[in-house]
């Protein structure tokens, strides 16, 4: 039996009253709620729903960029899947938006000496992908000398007034460190998101980057970039890690390198996507919401299996376990499958605007692949932190540890959920997954079902079922969070 660490039943009643009386009695979960959480954990470990859901999404639909025909198919599929799990109030809320669409693209490296009279050009086609939101090149393409930088910091240190990037194609060779938590991505991704702005600021005609990933496969990683509208918008692309190594090696020889780039793309294409929503209805606090989410869209490469098909399957299956257990939660537990996370967060923004006046007890998102959860942390008000000792105790048999020290209440609840947390001061939940291999396939053609280990999914489902249930049953509100 899981024991309550803080108070007995009588004290629990007093704690529940403390919100009204203003007393300082610490709050605690009811013993029955902790026991049900343990039951949910075991039920979820026997889950057989998540893997079939992921198979259907990947094999029947595949890549589903926001606003595409496949995205519309995914929205219809998601509603059917959630109804099949017996969830209630299933709906799709439309989001008009403008989307970016990829066209043909190529990049060719011209080896040293290729421009010398009488010396035949030695060319190497690079494995590349346009970055999301990239503008196209002129129809004839661009050919220019490369201005190579070892990382974004080196580009930032190059004085715009006298930059060697002027009239050249900037190449940023930003390397990414493999980490369990994904911190290496946070440190490297600025090259992708800020590279076009900073290259344009220095007069570059285009920008290429080493793929933001941890693999050494001959594949390119895409992902969104952005522009400063006060500066010229220049074409932006990524090359595979092996090709980035080739460029770095030739550059070290000291001879000028040139690159020929052709890139077609369209921006501001009118489209529509949706947030897909379903609920496990609450009882006495039904107007308060515990949000467990994922994003339904993906990039146009691969199948979007880990980013974020796995998350869609995990939180949907977790809600299915809660519904099948037959005990209604106090607060409503709401599954939200966000639209267009990948290139604009339109779904999260629209959700926040629509439900800004609804009390959200917690927001959390599964968007880090299918690796096992190893850590719990959160962003809640200080008075709610002790409750997570019991949450952690229920999760411990799953191999999940409560973060230590200040990290306990500094959780990042996933990209859409984090936007909602910061914009609306809704409390956040982070179930940290092992992402050691996630960035081998992230935003690439290799993000496919075959790269997912189905054995890790039930543990994820169990973690989300337990935390959603306990958040819904908590004797006090978790917000506003410490930010």
**Per-residue model confidence (pLDDT) at position 215:** 97
pLDDT at 460 over 80: yes
Q: What is the pLDDT of residues 80-126, one digit of tens each?
A: 999 999 999 999 999 999 999 999 999 999 976 545 556 565 899 99
Better pLDDT: 252 or 461: 461
Question: How distant, in Å, are the alpha carbons of 25, 50, 153, 278, 442 from that of 292?
Answer: 29, 15, 37, 10, 22
**Per-residue model confidence (pLDDT) at position 111:** 76
> Mean pLDDT over all residues of the chain?
93
Least confident among 113-117, 180-184, 354-358, 391-395:
113-117
Phi, psi of 361 (to 5 degrees): -70, -30
Could you tell me if 305 and 449 are in contact, meaning their C-beta atoms sit under 8 angstroms apart?
A: yes
Which tokens hold the place of 449?
């079902």
The pLDDT of 35-45, averaged and rounded, is 98
pLDDT at 19 over 60: no
Q: What global pTM score does this model have? A: 0.93
Q: Which domains does the chain have, with CATH numbers?
A: 33-97+271-473 (3.40.630.10), 112-256 (3.50.30.30)
What is the rounded distance in angstroms from the CA atom of residue 470 to the CA atom of residue 395?
Answer: 11
**Per-residue model confidence (pLDDT) at position 331:** 98
CB-based burial of residue 116 (10 Å sphere; 0-12 exposed, 13-18 middle, 19+ buried)? exposed
| Per-residue confidence band for 463, with pLDDT thresholds at 50, 70 and 90 | very high
**Per-residue model confidence (pLDDT) at position 102:** 97
Least confident among 8-17, 105-114, 416-425:
8-17
Q: What is the pLDDT of residues 220-270, one digit of tens each?
A: 999 999 999 999 999 999 999 999 999 999 999 887 899 999 999 999 899
The pLDDT of 270-283, averaged and rounded, is 98
Taking each helix axis from N to C end, the angle separating 310-325 and 69-84, rounded to the nearest 10 degrees, works out to 20
Question: How distant, in Å, are the alpha carbons of 65, 125, 455 from that of 303?
Answer: 10, 25, 19
The pLDDT of 46-67, averaged and rounded, is 97
Report CA Rg, the chain. Answer: 24
First to last CA, the chain: 35
What is the rounded distance in angstroms from the CA atom of residue 1 to the CA atom of residue 483?
Answer: 35
Per DSSP, the three-state class of 67 is coil
**Per-residue model confidence (pLDDT) at position 124:** 94
Q: What is the pLDDT of residues 316-359, one digit of tens each?
A: 999 999 999 999 999 999 999 999 999 999 999 999 999 999 99
**Considering the chain, what percentage of its residues have pLDDT values greater than 90?**
90
What is the rounded distance in angstroms from the CA atom of residue 116 to the CA atom of residue 52?
Answer: 59
pLDDT at 5 over 60: no
Which of 107, 75, 117, 70 lies closest to 92 in space, CA to CA? Answer: 75
pLDDT at 154 over 50: yes
| Per-residue confidence band for 420, with pLDDT thresholds at 50, 70 and 90 | very high
pLDDT at 12 over 50: no
**Per-residue model confidence (pLDDT) at position 470:** 98
**Considering the chain, what percentage of its residues have pLDDT values greater than 70?**
93
Better pLDDT: 482 or 254: 482
CB-based burial of residue 360 (10 Å sphere; 0-12 exposed, 13-18 middle, 19+ buried)? buried
- Beta strands 285-295 and 331-338, pairing class: parallel
pLDDT at 22 over 80: no
pLDDT at 479 over 80: yes
What is the rounded distance in angstroms from the CA atom of residue 95 to the CA atom of residue 352?
Answer: 13
The pLDDT of 139-152, averaged and rounded, is 98
């Amino acid at each position: 039996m899981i024991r309550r660490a803080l108070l007995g039943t009588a004290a629990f009643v007093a704690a529940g009253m403390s919100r009204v009386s203003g007393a300082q009695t610490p709050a605690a979960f009811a013993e029955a709620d902790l026991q049900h959480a343990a039951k949910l954990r075991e039920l979820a470990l026997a889950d057989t729903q998540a893997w079939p859901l992921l198979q259907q999404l990947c094999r029947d639909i595949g890549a589903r960029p926001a606003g595409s025909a496949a995205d519309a198919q995914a929205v219809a599929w998601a509603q059917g899947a959630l109804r099949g799990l017996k969830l209630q109030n299933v709906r799709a809320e439309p989001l008009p938006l403008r989307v970016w669409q990829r066209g043909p693209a190529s990049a060719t490296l011209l080896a040293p000496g290729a421009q010398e009279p009488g010396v035949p050009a030695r060319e190497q086609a690079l494995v590349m992908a346009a970055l999301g939101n990239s503008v196209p090149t002129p129809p004839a393409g661009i050919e220019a000398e490369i201005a190579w930088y070892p990382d974004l910091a080196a580009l930032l240190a190059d004085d715009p007034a006298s930059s060697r990037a002027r009239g050249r194609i900037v190449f940023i060779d930003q390397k990414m460190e493999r980490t369990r938590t994904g911190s290496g991505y946070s440190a490297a991704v600025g090259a992708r998101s800020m590279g076009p702005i900073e290259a344009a600021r220095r007069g570059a005609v285009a920008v290429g980057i080493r793929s933001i990933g941890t693999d050494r496969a001959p594949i390119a990683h895409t992902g969104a970039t952005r522009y400063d509208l006060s500066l010229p918008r220049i074409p932006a692309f990524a090359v595979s890690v092996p090709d980035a190594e080739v460029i770095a090696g030739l550059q070290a020889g000291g001879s000028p390198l040139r690159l020929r780039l052709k890139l077609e793309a369209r921006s501001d294409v009118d489209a529509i996507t949706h947030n897909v929503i379903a609920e496990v209805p609450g009882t006495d606090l039904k107007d308060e919401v515990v949000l467990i989410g994922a994003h339904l869209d993906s990039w146009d490469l691969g199948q979007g299996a880990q980013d974020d098909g796995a998350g869609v399957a995990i939180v949907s299956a977790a809600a299915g376990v809660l519904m099948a257990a037959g005990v209604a939660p106090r607060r409503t537990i709401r599954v939200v499958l966000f639209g267009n996370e990948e290139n604009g967060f339109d779904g999260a923004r629209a959700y926040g605007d629509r439900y800004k006046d609804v009390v959200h007890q917690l927001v959390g998102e599964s968007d880090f692949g299918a690796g096992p959860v190893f850590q719990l942390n959160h962003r809640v008000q200080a008075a709610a932190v002790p409750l997570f000792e019991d949450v952690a105790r229920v999760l411990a048999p799953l191999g999940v540890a409560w973060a230590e020290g200040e990290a306990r209440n500094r959780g990042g609840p996933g990209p859409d959920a984090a936007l909602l947390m910061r914009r609306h001061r809704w409390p956040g939940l982070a179930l940290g997954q092992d992402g050691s291999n996630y960035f081998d396939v992230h935003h690439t053609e290799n993000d496919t079902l075959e790269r997912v280990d189905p054995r890790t999914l039930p543990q994820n489902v169990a973690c989300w079922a337990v935390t959603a249930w306990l958040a819904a049953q908590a004797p006090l509100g978790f917000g506003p969070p410490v930010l």
